[in-house]
Structure 1
Amino acid sequence: MEKLPFYHALKVVENVCIGCTHCMNVCPTKAIRVKSGIADIDKYACVDCGECLKACPVNAIIVEQDDFNQIFSFKQRVALLPTVLLGQFPDGVSEVQVYEEIKDLGFTHVYEVDGAVGVLSDATKKYMHKHNQERPFISSFCPAVVRLIQVRFPGLVDNIIQLKPVIDISAQFYRKKLEDKGYTQDEIGIFYITPCAAKIASVKSPVGEEELLIDGVINMDFIYNKVLLSIKQNNKEAKKYPENIHMSRRSIEWSLTNGEASQYSGRCLAIDEIHNVIAFLDKLENEEITDVDFLELRACDRSCAGGVLSTENRFIAIERLRKRAAWYHRNKPVIMEEKEIEEYKPYLLEHISINKVEPRSILSLDSDMMIAMDKMKKIQRIMKVLPGIDCGACGAPKCKVLAEDIVQGKAKMTQCVFLQKMLTKEELITPQESFDISEGTWGKERFEKKTIKNR
């Protein structure tokens, strides 16, 4: 059956893109090509990690979000917050202020998703004990990593823990809580405030889940700017959180690097930043690394604090969150939020499993082994002709990627500028034909720039 494309939150604004190749060169899954002078993202290969967004010098790549006014379609409007949002605000802004400002925007309820950590942590320990032979266990926390494994390391999909992440557990908890108060499904709207593009994609097309648990996604930078502007304009004083509704230290640190890995026994490793993750998974797949029990893998540098929709410096955000966690640890307040979710624990555990994550390899040349081997030989022959300098002038990030595209019928040999010169020299193609090929890759406008005359 033909694979359906992932939903993607990252979009290219074509009339802004200058076809500079920055995004193409940083993409960890080689999902980007330049065609007609515009970046083109392969919907089957992209994992929504956001590296392209960070690299774009002209902001031609954006992260789509739902229309904020959509929240008013519901009587009960729940804002699910990543704890890392609290680390974005200056020290003078308290948690209760952030909560109140978000409610003033139109939400009726605010809940930090990491309040569900206790439920997931206990379920994970039981899962690892039951499936002991499937080590190393890989956390399903980061949707960009889950998709990365699907498309680039399909042999490791069985190692992904088949449990919902805290976002989905929190959504399920709050929806059930409101239903128990008499509200209908149609009256309840659950909205996640996301620090990254990958979580938008996972909400819209969840991996291993058939049910959509969240009604909409709002970018964290949008909410941050709205909240901070309101606080500054109204000169609102910081208010302290009542001492009986704090989260635990474990919950606050969950989305930071080593937040998960520190909770389990055995050899547990935490790796962040997607290129580091890829390098590690390469070694794991090649069995260069063994005897690992649990892997916490995060696509962003310093985990969610480094999300592409974060506004604060990731190191400062981490410092703030660790200070918050340390204060709670010292003062040991009553954790009312986590006690409340404990009441729903049997229900949540009953619905915590996800289906097996299916591989979606982009490296497979063909489902028929004989055809795939023949294509591999063709790639090797093409590589002997290509210059091997990975200049990107063909519109592909590397010579090997161009060779793979050629074999798959997605590109032509003549896209290589070096081969164009050779063929032109041998009079096998005309200079005009060579020019037309380059124009097809880089667009007409790039060759129509006017010369600036000296004055």
Structure 2
Amino acid sequence: MEKLPFYHALKVVENVCIGCTHCMNVCPTKAIRVKSGKADINKHACVDCGECLKACPVNAIIVEQDDFNQIFSYKQRVAILPTVLLGQFPDDITEEQIYAVIREMGFTHVFEVDEAVDLLIEGTKEYMRKHSQMRPFISSFCPAVVRLIQVRFPSLVENIVRLKPVVDISSQFYRKKLIDEGYKNEEIGIFYVTPCAAKIAAVKSPVGEDEMLIDGVINMDFIYNKVMLSIKQTGKEKQAVSNYRHLSTTSIDWTLTNGEASQYSGRCLAIDEIHNVIAFLDKLENEEITDVDFLELRACDRSCAGGVLSTENRFLAVERLSKRAKKEIKRQAETEEMYSTYRPYLLNNIAISEIEPRSILSLDADMMVAMDKMKKIQRIMRVLPGIDCGACGAPKCKVLAEDIVQGHAKMTQCVFLQKMLTKEELISPQESFDISEETWGKGRFEKKKFNS
């Protein structure tokens, strides 16, 4: 049975895209090609890391989100916040103010996902005890990394800790809490404010879970702008009643680099930024790195503080969260309800099912056919120039060779081969032009008239 593609939050706006190849060249999974002058994303290879979004010079790549007015379809409207959201605001804006404005926007409840951190730590330690032979354990925190392992490092899939991330635990907790208070399930809407595209994709098509625990996703930059505008209009001195709860320092640090790795014993490493993660996983897969107990892998530089939907400079956001953690260290975290009342329920439902590898590197399910294709790729590579110019619409010569063998491209897309074939009169100049136009779009080669 053919695997269904992942849900993807990143979309190309074709009428804006200029086919510049910036996105194609930065994509860590080589998921982007240029076809007919527009960026085209391979949905089986994309991991929603957001590198293309950051690289696009004309904002032709966007992150989709749910309609905000969807929240009013529910009687109980819960905003599940990442702690990193609070790190986006200046020091003179308090957590209480942020909570209050979000409630004024229409939410009946506001809850930080990282309040569930202590419970996840407890569950992870028990998981590692029971599966000690599976080292190194790889955190399931970052959905972009989970997808990266599925499509590019499938042999490491079984090393991923099969437990729900804190956002799912928090959503499960709050839904159960409201149901116990007498509300019907259909009256409850859980909405996650996300710092990145990958978490949107994870909410819409969760890995290892059969049901969606969250009803909608709202981009963090949208919420940030709404809160800042409200505070500017009403004045910072306004203090509305909120349900702000104090978190532990562990919870506040969780989304930052080394937030997870610092909580476990043994050799625990924290690697952030997706190209760094790929370089490390390459070494791990090739057994160049051994004797590692736990890996915290994050796709974004400085982890969630560097998410593509963050507004503030990531280093300033980290500094603010560190200040908040130091301030809260003198207070007792207000997580008693989750532990005393709901701990057994949440721990009994914390596991996820098997994570399926979805390798994009596999040439064919039949080993003999795959070996034959590999030989063809090697033969094609001897013909291609090997300079990785990208003029064929693929990021590298090897990627073009793989596309050719899989029937997704033609040899003549290489401009160097076009020139050779034209010189030998095997194709006409017009045919060469038509091939290039097929890649780069009609009108790309028209003479531009400039006013002097």
Question: How high is the TM-score relative to the length of structure 2?
Answer: 0.98
1:33 counterpart letter in structure 2? R
Distance 2:259 2:238 in 1: 28
Structure 1 residue runs of 5 or longer lacking an equivalent are: none
Shift of 1:449: 4.3
Classify 1:28/1:291 alpha carbon distance in 2 versus 1 (closer, same or farther; 3 Å): same
- The residue aligned with 2:435 is 437
| Alignment match, 2:338 | 341
CA displacement at 1:156 relative to structure 2: 0.1
C-alpha separation between the residues in 1 aligned to 2:258 and 2:430? 57
Residues 240 and 187 (structure 1), Cα distance of their counterparts in 2 relative to 1, 3 Å cut:
closer
* Aligned pairs (5 A) from 1:221-260: 221-237=221-237, 239=239, 245-260=245-260
Alignment partners' CA distance in 1, 2:167 and 2:298: 15
Give the superposition deviation at 1:245: 3.0
Structure 2: stretches of 5+ with no match in the other structure: none
Structure 2 distance, partners of 1:295, 1:283, is 13
Contact 1:35/1:395, CA 8 A, preserved across alignment: yes
Identify the residue that residue 422 of structure 2 maps to in structure 1.
424
Where do 1:344-363 residues align within 5 Å? 344-363=342-361
Aligned residues: 451
- 1:370 match: 368
Matches within 5 A, 1:34-45: 34-45=34-45
Question: How far does residue 448 in structure 1 lie from its aligned partner after superposition?
Answer: 2.2
Contact 1:135 1:159 in 2 (8 A): yes
Aligned to 2:176: 176
Is 1:79–1:111's contact at 8 Å kept on the other side of the alignment? yes
Q: Give, in angstroms, the shift of residue 335 of structure 1.
A: 1.9
Quote the offset at 1:437 in angstroms: 0.3
Question: Which residue identity lines up with residue 350 of structure 1 in the other structure?
Answer: N
SS of 1:270's equivalent in the other structure is: strand
Q: Equivalents in 1 of 2:410, 2:451: separation in Å?
A: 37
Question: Helix, strand or coil: the match of 2:29?
Answer: coil
Instruction: Check conservation: 2:219, 2:309, Cα contact below 8 A.
Output: yes
Aligned residue number for residue 22 of structure 1: 22
Aligned runs of 1:93-172 on 2, under 5 Å?
93-172=93-172
Quote the Cα distance in structure 1 between the aligned partners of 2:245 and 2:34: 51
In structure 2, the residue matched to 1:81 is 81
CA distance in 1, matches of 2:383, 2:429: 21
**Is the 1:16–1:60 contact (alpha carbons within 8 Å) kept by the matching residues of 2?**
yes
Which string of whole-angstrom CA distances, capped at 9 and with x for unpartnered residues, describes residues 102-123 of structure 1? 0010000000000000110000
Q: Which residue number corresponds to residue 307 of structure 1?
A: 307
State the one-letter code of the partner of 2:37.
G
In the TM superposition, what whole-angstrom CA distance separates every residue of 1:305-334 from its partner, at most 9, and x where no partner exists? Answer: 0000000000000000000001111x2x23
CA distance 1:181–1:87, change in 2 (3 Å): same
| Separation (CA, whole Å) in 2 of partners of 1:4 and 1:289 | 33
Rounded to whole Å, the distance in 2 between the matches of 1:407 and 1:244 is 57
Distance 1:242 1:447 in 2: 59
Q: What corresponds to 2:381 in structure 1?
A: 383
Counterpart residue identity of residue 333, structure 2: I
Across the aligned residues of Structure 1 and Structure 2, the Cα RMSD in angstroms comes to 1.3
Could you tell me which residue of structure 1 aligns to residue 444 of structure 2? Answer: 446
On the 8 A contact 1:192/1:218 being kept in 2, the answer is: yes
Report 1:275-314 matches (<5 A).
275-314=275-314
Q: Higher mean Cα deviation, 200-209 or 439-448?
A: 439-448
Deviation at 1:237, TM superposition (A): 1.2
Contact 2:116 2:169 survives alignment (8 Å) = yes
Structure 1 residues 122, 212: closer, same or farther in 2, change over 3 A? same
> How big is the shift at 1:241?
9.7
Amino acid at match of 1:49: C
Q: Deviations over 1:346-400 (max 9, x none)?
A: 0001110001111000000000000000000000000000000000000000000
In structure 1, distance between residues paired with 2:240 and 2:78: 22
Task: Report the identity percentage.
Answer: 80
Counterpart for residue 399 of structure 1: 397
In structure 2, C-alpha distance between the alignment counterparts of 1:449 and 1:103, rounded to whole Å:
56
* CA distance 1:244–1:429, change in 2 (3 Å): closer
User: What TM-score do you get using the length of structure 1 for normalisation?
Assistant: 0.98
Q: 2:259 and 2:36 mapped to 1: Cα distance?
A: 44
- Residue 451 of structure 1 deviates from its aligned partner by 2.6
Structure 1: distance between partners of 2:18 and 2:357: 34
- Counterpart-to-counterpart distance in 2, 1:155 and 1:177: 39
- Letter of the structure 1 residue corresponding to residue 111 of structure 2: Y
> The residue matched to 1:409 in structure 2 has which SS?
coil
Look up the equivalent residue of 2:256 and give its one-letter code.
L
1:94–1:241 contact (8 Å) kept in structure 2: no
